[in-house]
A and B are shown apart, each in its own frame.
Chain A
Amino acid sequence: MEAGKQTHPELAGGFNADEQRVDWHDETLWWIRQKRDKAAHGIPEWELLRETASQIKNNVLSGLADYLENFEARALENGIKVHWAADAAAHNQIVYSILKEKEVTQLVKSKSMLTEECHLNTFLEEKGISVIDSDLGERIVQLAKEPPSHIVLPCIHKKKEEIGELFHEHLGTAAGESDPQVLTEAARQHLREVFLTSKAALTGVNFAIAETGEFVVCTNEGNADLGAHLADVHIASMGIEKIIPERAHLGVFLRLLTRSATGQPITTYSSHFKKPAPGQEIHLILVDNGRTEHMGREDFRASLKCIRCGACMNTCPVYRRSGGHSYHYTISGPIGAILAPNLDRKKYADLPFASTLCGSCSNVCPVKIDIHQQLYKWRQVIVQEGHADLAKKVSMKGMSLLLSSPNAYRIAGKSGRWLLRHAPFAMNNKFNPWYKQREMPSPPEQSFSEWYKKMKK
């Protein structure tokens, strides 16, 4: 961990200072998990769909370079300008060059976790370009100067009263107004103006079809389309893993995506951009930013299959009770915890440990990423690379020695139950985190092994 930066346990501890808020956060997300269950369980072939999507994505990973080449060739034929960005800096520079050439000073943006990953907004704002996030949730966190706390529901951590205050300050709504209907209408009016006056729009990409060179953007609000169709320049940023082979495969993913995400049967808009409209330009930026290296890690490459539905966050009992910001990475929750260490194992050493390994995430994942298994494997890598803290290292070594030797174990057991001294749940003092809110188990008269020995006599 970096000095001075707070870890997941610390940030989660802060979040838990307000228990009512934790309950509210947990219940809101659990409600979405229930909607997901209802949608999924309503499709008899659900598990077959997941398996099929998983296999399609496995195929994509195994042939990604060829698919990308194909995709690029088709996209160029379609009149799309294709750019390659090796990393975040290159991506940001490409966006900036396009905007500069067109003398654009205002960019309207729909949801793109990739641009969050690249910290595009800060970069462009430093260059004097104003960036306006048009997804309502994203706009809210942008006004609050916060990162999104969830990839699908960016302001799920905010209460309507807090949003009302923000809107009062920035959009001029009445003081104390917190009705979602009224607030949404205010945002609609405000952003309409932005859509109508922006010469450039940036969108993310949900799926890119290698066969045809087109890309698909899914939104509920219609903000990606309004931005893209009203602008002279449409920039689309995509991670290289977003490829699917053919149009015919799209059905599988569109069936899974929103049912997994929110329990909806499909997003309101699933727009297929193949050719620029007359007089318009489409620039597509293919971003690597660590993905090629990630692909080389056999145990972890499956996380490149992710379609960003957020189902693992909604189901995660830890996420629901610690909030997205506690993960201190662009993508929070279980999937964030296995993606982040690909980029920086020291900075994100705490994230794979922010889980009980309960496995619910892997079960809801529409492309069957082995999320909880990867959390376990990242723990091994992080410890082996020396990012575990020293205290833990010492106690684990001691524990291991003791448990490898039956004699040492028995002697330790006799002299007052070694667990009382070694196990975290057994130290009866205020410095022990177990004891802070829990009693220790009471030591019995005799251990099982002692009972067994007596019985066998």
Chain B
Amino acid sequence: MLAALRHNQPEHSVLPPLLYFPLAPAAELKEQFIRIATGIGSVVHTADTFEGALELLQKTLQPGQKVLSTLPELSSDGFIYPGKDQDPHIYADLDVAVFKPLVAVAENSALWITEEQLIVRALPFITQHIYMLVDVSVLVGDMHEASRITGLKSQEYGFGTYIAGPSKTADIEQSLVLGAHGPRSMTIFLYGSGT
């Protein structure tokens, strides 16, 4: 198969240079991120500090919810902490999952998160609602910069995903419905000053 393919391929065509666009100031990135995230159905809260964000997060939780977090900082606060190699099916009734993504992209509000922060891969999909704690300092402008960072050799992962907003569909007459199969909502707690 490959021999035939080789024979049929066109002459070598060079790769274009990687694209790079200068990073906008942090305040601009933050404003753009919030605007886009809100535009695609996420709810965004802002706080000055991580502690402030946690406080806000606690306030938005409803009593009786089954809540999970993979942040060590929250492990003592009654949040479920998943174990490696667990059967994901046990989380079928999970209400809220809290994560801390590694990269946040201003142009599309996508949040990059890998298996290391997820622990169990199915979590951000199986949960009814997803909470994201986003440090302003992980904001980048666009997907070129995001791909550059996630493309670094140091970024090892078995699984990683960009998540932008709650799961959604518009398959029925193009009417947008949030909560297709995955989370019905995404709440983002954006904190820090980015310096």
Q: Contact residues of A with B, CB < 8 Å?
A: 28, 31-32, 45, 48-49, 51-52, 55-56, 58-59, 61-65, 68-69, 78, 84, 86, 134-137, 140, 153-156, 159-160, 163, 180-181, 183-185, 188, 191-192, 195-196, 220-223, 225-226, 229-230, 240, 245-252, 254-255, 262, 264-279, 288, 292-293, 295-296, 298, 301
Contact = CB atoms under 8 A, between A and B. Distances in A.
Contacts of B122: 225-226, 229-230
Given A62-B11, A251-B144, A180 B4 contact: no
Given A136-B171, A222-B167, A265-B164, 11 more contacts: A56-B16, A65-B5, A68-B2, A220-B168, A223-B181, A246-B151, A252-B144, A265-B108, A268-B164, A272-B159, A274-B160
Nearest to B21: A45
A191 B167 CA distance: 14
Nearest to B179: A188
A162 B61 CA distance: 39
A292 B8 contact: yes
Given A230-B89, A246-B151, A136 B159 contact: no
B180 A184 contact: yes
B166 interface: yes
B104 interface: no
A31 B175 CA distance: 12
B10 interface: yes
A307 B84 CA distance: 35
Interface of B: 1-16, 18-19, 21, 36, 40, 84-85, 88-89, 92, 105, 107-110, 115, 121-122, 124-126, 142-148, 150-151, 157-175, 177, 179-183
Given A61-B10, A268-B163, A277-B158, A221 B85 contact: no
Given A196-B92, A225-B182, A229-B125, A265 B107 contact: yes
The 8 closest A-B pairs by CB, nearest first: A222-B182, A251-B147, A265-B108, A247-B151, A296-B8, A251-B143, A221-B180, A137-B171
B141 to A, nearest CB: 11
